[in-house]
Amino acid sequence: MARPKGKGHRVALTLNQETNDVFDRFSELTGTPKATLIRDYLEEILPIVKDTIDALEMVKSKELTFSQAQSMFLNAVADYNDTVSHAIREISKPLDGDSHATTSRKSD
């Protein structure tokens, strides 16, 4: 993901041990700094956070009931899951000529 233009804002963040270990390992394997990975993941979920804020503001102003806002949130999460599922399918496709990528076997 491209870094946004302009100066960023630093935030102090405490991670639990498991989260820290996962991002340490991911960073080690990809060569990408841990802070960059975390920032990129936060930016990826930003549309869901924005939708959640919009829904909560509408509940607060009584434009929506909590139940309607909950439905909006669940739809936003479902849309995000669809996007992620599509991305996973795309990156999981075998590369042309990759003989090791096949998962089917002949039965004897």
- Domain residue limits, the chain: 17-92
Average pLDDT for residues 5-32, to the nearest whole number? 90
pLDDT of residue 35: 94
> Three-state DSSP class for 94?
coil
How many whole angstroms separate alpha carbon 103 and alpha carbon 68? Answer: 43
Averaged confidence pLDDT in the chain: 79
Q: Per-residue pLDDT tens for 88-106?
A: 776 666 655 554 544 444 4
Taking 70 as the threshold, does the pLDDT of residue 4 lie above it? no
How many whole angstroms separate alpha carbon 47 and alpha carbon 76? Answer: 8
